[in-house]
Structure 1
Amino acid sequence: MNNFLDRVILGNPIQNYFILAIVLLFVSMIKRYLSQGMANLLYKEVKRWAPEIDKHEFSHLLLVPLEYFFLLVTFMLTIDHFTYPPELDITVYNGFTLKMVLTAILELALTVSITWIILRVIDFVSLMISKSADLSHDVTDNQFIVFFRDFFKAIVCIFGAIAVIRILFGAVLVNKIIAGLGIGAAALALAAKESIENLICSFIIFFDKPFRVGDSVRVDAFQGTVEKIGLRSTRVRTVDKTYVTVPNKKMVDSILDNLSLRTHQRAVMRLEVAGDTSADSIIQVLQDIKQLLQKNEKIQEGFIVNLHDFTKDTYVIQIIYLTPVIEGVQYNALRSDINLAIISALDKRGAKLSSTKVEIYEK
């Protein structure tokens, strides 16, 4: 039996092949437990920072990459004790020997395995941060997480691709590619100046947060609700229900009024009453308007009702009041009720509006 195990095949005794097969078989059988154990150790540390992370989610991300990594490392450590057989020292193509090809394959496999693990770690970190972001009502945070997750994964893939090129074609080609990318990046930056500006402005929006998804904003000539903040532009659903795409640079450079951050809504009315109305009627109208505003629970204290000005033909009554932030139909209904009550007060006291216009403002 010993003579059989000592027989040499391809420069190595049969005993070494048996050891390699047994080790690989053993690691294949326990790789799941090794990976699970490693994942459990990492999970205990992660649990301190993100207690809301589910153990199954964490294990699902890292288990398979760790299994292949353990198996590959075991194979490389074991095969390192083998003597490369002279019989296989042959040239495959253009000076490349079979040994060089096999070494490159192992290096490629190790590079892919490490890249895979790093990508899964990025997925896990983004998952951990998104769990915390879900506790807030800001949808922008989730977009921010997705963007940076994809950004860092792209960087890792680029470095992985460079490592693969270096293994296959050598460092000289990598240096040429990097030099070419430097020149190309400068030309691309000049050609895509506006796109880069919009990209930078998207970072400003993400960090400074002048508005968020769901906010009602007014920019230049349009007003609407922010539905999406992208890397190049922001999508706004206007009050006319149109879908407007605004470059992020414009959202940052323009004067933006975030209506969702209002603490109150301010209404200003300017009533011009006919000049033949008696002074007593004017006084009674002012008192009636004050009373109806006081009785309305949605009108904030501190409203103003006064005789603002007068001319030979008109008396100008100014009404200023604040309401809580009420959206849509409810706010319109409140304004309608107040306006009808004011009309009733004018009619009750025999006061007529002047033939000139009535100005109503709101902010």
Structure 2
Amino acid sequence: MKDFLQQTYLDNTLQSYCIVGTLILIVFLFKRYIAHYVASFFFFLLRKRYRNLDKVAFKSLIAKPLGLFIATFITVAALDKLNFPEALDIKIYRIRLHELLRMMGTALIIITFTRLLIKTVDFIIILLKERYLQQGDSGSHQLVYFFKDFIKVLIGLLGGLLLLKYVFHYDVKGLVTGLSIVGAAVALALKESLENLIASFIIFFDKPFKTGDSVKGSNFSGVVEKIGLRSTRIRTDAKTYITVPNKQMVDSVLDNLTNRTLFRGDIKLEIEPETPLEKVQELLKGIREIFQKHNVRTFSLYINDISSNAIIIVSDYYASTAEVSSFPVLKNAINVDILQLMKELGIHVCGRTTNVSILNEKPFT
């Protein structure tokens, strides 16, 4: 039996063929279980750091590409232990079959490993997203989505460079140098787009606003619906959908209405100068009670001016509301209560229209 296994066919013994074939068969039959246990091991290590780790998502994203990479790597490594038969080492378009198979094996290892890294990035993104949502940060996960695509592109480029270097033996240094020169020329041509891209990084890290915030700029106001790499999409108060370049959002003065702690309202009353002092004092007292009724935090109320045409009463008040849209409702309620108070006190604003009737009993002659 031993002599039988030592027989040589195509530059390799039968024993070598059996060992390599058995190893490859075992790997492909049990790759799912191997990947399952390897993934479970890594899951156990990560679970110590992240308690809310989703085991189903982890295995669905990691186990399958991990099993494919392990099977590919072991298969290529096992076949590499065999001597390639010289009788089969023919040329195919100036490339020997031995070299062509080596290139294919190396390419398969690089491609499966790159795919494993990309799937790992997808799982990390899911993990970070859940972490941000648990912390109640509704805007920070946008940065995670941006870096998801960015990192996946970098991994793809790295995989392409590895293919060029280890499969085709291409001079990667010369390629990188050439790409850097081309990149500098493209950067000059796309100066404005790069400025908006850098501004998007500033928005993500500095966080002057996030999705869902009400903002007010020099010529627009509305709710931020999306923050992209080049621009920010805003639903205006007129319900139009505008696109503002990120550079403009960063460089201009922007008022984030959502982050206001207090909202200011102003009142200016011009009442008739003939209004009795007692009525004016009752009006001031009633306005103070209205402010207290509506939980106004701070306010000022005083007679600003007295003239022959009007008694001018001014007030500015500050109120805290849960949302920006609820402040106009509060302001309207305060104004309605003041109008009702003036009606009850019989106080009129100045400038009312007066009808004058002239009665002449004797006809003109």
TM-score, length basis structure 2: 0.90
1:58-77 equivalences in 2 (<5 Å): 58-77=58-77
- Match in the other structure for 1:210: 208
Q: Distance in 2 between matches of 1:351 and 1:113?
A: 83
Q: Distance in 2 between matches of 1:38 and 1:327?
A: 50
1:242-281 equivalences in 2 (<5 Å): 242-281=240-279
Please say if 1:284 is aligned against 2:282.
yes
- Match in the other structure for 2:361: none
Please say if 1:82 is aligned against 2:78.
no
Task: Give, in angstroms, the shift of residue 271 of structure 1.
Answer: 0.8
Contact 1:276 1:313 in 2 (8 A): no
Choose from 313, 322, 339 the match for 2:309: 313
Choose from 188, 191, 195 the match for 1:190: 188
Q: Distance in 2 between matches of 1:104 and 1:216?
A: 56
- Match in the other structure for 1:7: 7
Paired letter, 2:35: S
Contact 2:218 2:253 in 1 (8 A): yes
Contact 2:193 2:230 in 1 (8 A): yes
Paired letter, 1:342: I
Q: For residues 86-121 of structure 1, give each alpha carbon's deviation from its aligned partner in whole angstroms, at most 9, with x where no partner exists.
A: 212322222x21111111111111111221221122
CA RMSD in angstroms, aligned pairs only: 2.0
- Match in the other structure for 2:91: 91
- Match in the other structure for 2:49: 49
Distance 1:330 1:177, change over 3 A: closer
Q: For residues 323-348 of structure 1, give each alpha carbon's deviation from its aligned partner in whole angstroms, at most 9, with x where no partner exists.
A: 22255775444333322322233233
Which of 1 and 2 has higher RCO (CA within 8 Å, sep 6+)? 1
Distance 1:239 1:13, change over 3 A: same
Contact 1:218 1:256 in 2 (8 A): yes
Per the alignment, in what secondary structure is the counterpart of residue 140 of structure 1?
coil
Q: Distance in 1 between matches of 2:271 and 2:78?
A: 100
Paired letter, 2:74: T
Distance 1:8 1:161, change over 3 A: same
Distance 1:137 1:244, change over 3 A: farther
Per the alignment, in what secondary structure is the counterpart of residue 179 of structure 2?
helix
Please say if 1:302 is aligned against 2:298.
yes
Contact 1:275 1:354 in 2 (8 A): yes
Q: For residues 153-194 of structure 1, give each alpha carbon's deviation from its aligned partner in whole angstroms, at most 9, with x where no partner exists.
A: 10010011111122443233x344322211110111011111
Contact 1:262 1:325 in 2 (8 A): no
Per the alignment, in what secondary structure is the counterpart of residue 125 of structure 2?
helix
- Match in the other structure for 1:361: none
Q: Distance in 1 between matches of 2:101 and 2:326?
A: 74
Please say if 1:163 is aligned against 2:162.
yes
Contact 2:233 2:244 in 1 (8 A): yes
Per the alignment, in what secondary structure is the counterpart of residue 239 of structure 2?
coil
- Match in the other structure for 2:127: 128
Contact 1:138 1:212 in 2 (8 A): no
Paired letter, 2:248: K
- Match in the other structure for 1:355: 351
Paired letter, 1:52: N
Contact 1:299 1:322 in 2 (8 A): no
- Match in the other structure for 2:237: 239
Q: For residues 73-96 of structure 1, give each alpha carbon's deviation from its aligned partner in whole angstroms, at most 9, with x where no partner exists.
A: 3223322332222212322222x2
Task: Give, in angstroms, the shift of residue 141 of structure 1.
Answer: 2.0
Per the alignment, in what secondary structure is the counterpart of residue 71 of structure 2?
helix
Q: Distance in 1 between matches of 2:72 and 2:326?
A: 66
- The number of residues matched between the two structures is 352
Which one is further off, 5-14 or 215-224?
A: 5-14
Paired letter, 1:315: I
Paired letter, 1:76: V
- Match in the other structure for 1:359: none
Q: Distance in 2 between matches of 1:16 and 1:306?
A: 102
